[in-house]
Each structure stands twice: as C-alpha cells, then as structure tokens.
Amino acid sequence: MATHKTALGALVAAAVALATGATGCEVIADFDRGKLLVDAGDLDANPPSDATVTDANDGSPLVDATADADAASDSATDADAASDSATDAADAADAAKDAGPVCAAGGASCGAPADCAAQTTVCITSTCAANCCGTSYEPVRTPCADNQGKLCDGAGTCVACMLPSDCTPPTTLCKVSTCNAAAHTCGTANAAKGTACADSGGVVCDGSGACVASHCNDGVMDADETDVDCGGSCGATCKDTGPQQKCKAGGDCISHVCSGAPLLCQPPTCTDGAKNGTETATDCGGPTCDGLGKTCAPGQACGVQNDCTNASGCAGATYTSPATCPANICVAGTQTNCAATGLVCDVASGCVACNAPSDCPATGNVCVVATCTGHACGTSNVTAGVAPPGLVQTPGDCQKLVCNGAGSVTSVDDGTDLPVSSTACLTSPACTGVPLTPSFTPAPTGTDCTSDNQPPKHLCGDTASVFAGVCVECNIDGDCTGGKTCSAAHACQ
C-alpha cells in the first residue's frame, strides 16, 4: 500500500509540475502534507483524473494514475514518429536508388563510356566514373586530323604543331620552320645571313629568305670564305696587313703567301716564292727587290730597264746589257738568228726546237699530232673516239671514222648517219643490225614511183617478191596495156 501511495504521490507531483509549466503560476512550497494522506481503500476504483492522494507513510502526494497513462501514450506517439521518420528515410533512399546517381550539372549517368555523348575530336576521350559521364584529354602528340591539325596538345585540341620539326620543311635552307608556342601554328623564319644553301643557283642565304650567289661583299664570313668576304671562291682577296686575315692556301691571299699558326696571309717579301708587292715577276723587279739586287733574268717580266739582269743568250752569242725593256720582257741585247739553224728562239732559253707544237714537223697522220714539251718536239696519239677534221666520212652508211687512241683509224656505229633513199619504193630509212647498216621499208605493192624518172617503170614491185622496194613496169598482166602481159622480170611484153 505504501508503494502505491508513493506512486500516486509521484503522479501528483508530476501533475503539479506539469500544471506549473502550463500556467506559469508559482507552486506553494509549504503545504500540509497531512491533508494529502488518503488510504488506498478510500480511493475509488476509477478516481477522477484530478484526484489528489498522499502516501500514508510519508504524506508525499501521489500522481494521478491517469498521468501515467498519458505519459505512456506520449511515448508511443513519439515512437510512431520515429518509425515514420525511418520509413521516410528508407523511402527516400529507395527513390534515390531508383533515380540513379546525382551527376554534376549537365552530366549524364552511364554504365560505360559508350553510353556518353561522342566527342568531336580524338584529343578528348569520354569517361564513365561513378556512373557519371566525364572526359579526359589524350596525351600530348597523340595523332589527330581534325581542326586542320595533326597532334593533340594535351588539353583537348588538335593542333598543327608542338615543335618546329612537326611542320613541313621549307623548300629552301634560307627559311626555317617555326611553331607558335601559344597558337601551335606552323610558320617560317629567315635563316641567318651567310647560312650555306644550294637552291636557286646560290651559295649563301641573304638573311631575307633567299639563296644568293653573291657572298663576297655581304659583310659576313660565309660560303667557302676563309675570312670575311675573302678567300675561297672570292679569290686572292684576303689582306696581309692591317690586320692579317685568315687563309687556307696562298691563293686566298693578296700576297699569295699563307703561313703561320694559325694560318694568316703574310706581307710580301723578295724571297717568298710568290709574285707580290711591287714585284714585276716572282721575287724580282720593282723598287723593293731591285734595291736588294733582286733583278729579273731574261724572259721575266719587267717595268723598266733597271728591273732586268745582264744576261748571255741564244746559241752562245754574247749579249750586251739591255738598254730597254721592250714589251715588258727582259731581253739581253740583239738575238742570234736561230732560224738559220732550223730552230726558233726563246728569249729565256736560247735557240730551241720549238716554242709551240706548230714549230714542229707535221706527222702526216690525222690520229697522231705534234707536241712541244720543254722546247722539244714530240708526238701524241689523238684520244680514242675523236674524229679529227682530216678524216673523210661516207654519208649515210651508219658508220663514223674515228681515231682508236693508238694512232690508227677505226669505224664505229653512228645511228645518226641515216641512209638516203634513191627511190620512192624504199621508205623509213634506218640504221639496224650489228654493226649498224642502212635499211629501208619497201613501199606497198603498186605505189606510184614515176618520181624516180625511169619510164616505163612507174609502180613499186610486189612486196612478196624479189622486186620489193624496186620501181617496175608491172606486177600483174592488168598493169600492162595493148594486150601485153607481165613477164617474170616485171616488164610488159
């Protein structure tokens, strides 16, 4: 019973608390608990909902049993709400599952990349990740053909180039391929001035994209020059002073002397083995060399008499010092009459057999010619295959007379030496056979050959007979008149 009263007290206390919370009124702290003591037996089986009871043991108020029922009802209601929320969450999950994945704006759902929209370039590949369509870029330099390009740039665009080497090479070495780093488009740039080239008949680039032949005055060392605008194909133009220019051989230098390490053109001296400076001949003549006693011998070039050395000359004759320097050649006075001895005179060597092949006796053989070497006469065989003017050719024989290289004449095939037909019955002149011989094609049987002027012969013989290509009087009886017949000799009788 005490327990029941305690429970009732608790219910009452709870009811008071609820009432206080509901009305906002203050509960009186002190009250007479004795007045709340009620015997359980005095309670109705169904006490009113507002009945107040106290515990008999300690006088504490007991809560109305109805409050317990209400509280239980509220808990049940809360449980129902929780159940409803769980059901709603499950329904939402099922709906989301049925609806498919939530993809980024504009994205489509997929099961494989093939479910996604096709791309307009091979540089972009469709992907399907987490059941959503996406894209990825193909690696740099992947081959492509759209957008007038040929390589992927790694960012989804087909471009013309990534490097200059991707572009079509120019047709001249004087232009080089370029590739715009931002636009990835091909272009060209002019090669440096002086770059070697070989197109358009040129040898170096002019810096404006053209290959030109003139390189000896372009201000740069190019082509085969040994220094700037000198040497090589520019000739002996490299300076030996102020300052000396580089060279590879004497022919590169104005002084014709190239020496040292490195090789440089050297100033002229009277002992360098080259005609240079003020010299009139190699290492002699001119103010500098004359002053050093380096005068020129007979036969060498001179400018004035003082450039010439006293000399004795032809055939042991005694000469006096030259008084003049005629024709700028050093001479040694009056010449001996070499012609009286059947020789010719060379101002440097004396009386000699020859100065030129024409001074030597004729050989009498068109395939052997006279020579003059070291002022001595000799002979030489004409090169094989050459036809000297003295050889008499026979026209139209398909052959040509030439020298054989051993001093004799031989005949060789000449397909241009076509025969000439003497009759209208032989056509298409040609050179055939081995060796080549003249040949013709017989004209068709009965071809008019009155142009041969051989009356009464007037038509070409039967091509199936020995008279093929021959102008005859008849081939058959019908070709004859006056009742005559055609004989075996193709004549009317």
Interval 279-332: pLDDT, tens: 999 999 999 999 999 988 888 888 887 888 764 333 333 333 444 455 677 766
Q: What is the pLDDT of residue 21?
A: 42
pLDDT at 333 over 70: no
DSSP 432: E
DSSP 461-483: PPTTSTTTT-EES-SSGGG--TT
Indicate the residue type of 466.
V
Q: Tell me the C-alpha to C-alpha distance, in Å, between residue 330 and each of 94, 98, 278.
A: 125, 121, 17
Indicate the residue type of 279.
E
Whole-model pTM: value is: 0.34
Task: Give the dihedral sign, CA 189/194/195/196.
Answer: positive
409-465 tens-digit pLDDT: 999 999 999 999 999 999 999 999 999 999 999 999 999 999 999 999 999 999 999
Structure tokens at 260: 């040292």
Q: How many CB atoms lie within 10 A of CB 273?
A: 11
53-83 tens-digit pLDDT: 454 555 555 444 444 445 455 555 555 555 6
Contacts of 378 (CB under 8 A, 6+ apart): 360, 370, 371, 372
Q: Is 266 exposed, middle or buried (0-12, 13-18, 19+ CB in 10 A)?
A: buried
214-228 tens-digit pLDDT: 889 999 999 899 999
Confidence of residue 85 (pLDDT cuts 50, 70, 90): low
Structure tokens at 206: 């002019």
Q: Which of 220, 216, 217, 250 is nearest to 233 (CA)?
A: 216
User: Are 462 and 468 spatial neighbours (Cβ–Cβ below 8 Å)?
Assistant: yes
Radius of gyration of the chain (CA): 64
Structure tokens at 238: 């490299």
Helices (H) and strands (E) in the chain, counts: 3, 22
Question: Hey, is 234 helix, strand or coil?
Answer: helix
206 phi/psi in degrees, rounded to 5: -90, 5
Q: How many CB atoms lie within 10 A of CB 267?
A: 16
Q: Tell me the C-alpha to C-alpha distance, in Å, between residue 373 and each of 311, 353, 363.
A: 24, 10, 16
User: Are 409 and 402 spatial neighbours (Cβ–Cβ below 8 Å)?
Assistant: yes
Q: Tell me the C-alpha to C-alpha distance, in Å, between residue 285 and each of 68, 270, 493.
A: 150, 9, 99
Confidence of residue 264 (pLDDT cuts 50, 70, 90): very high
Question: Hey, is 78 helix, strand or coil?
Answer: helix
232 phi/psi in degrees, rounded to 5: 60, -135
Task: Give the dihedral sign, CA 419/423/427/433.
Answer: negative
DSSP 338: G
Instruction: Tell me the β-bridge partners of 430.
Output: 439
Cα gap 228→218, rounded to integer Å: 9
> Which residue shows structure tokens 């070409």?
460
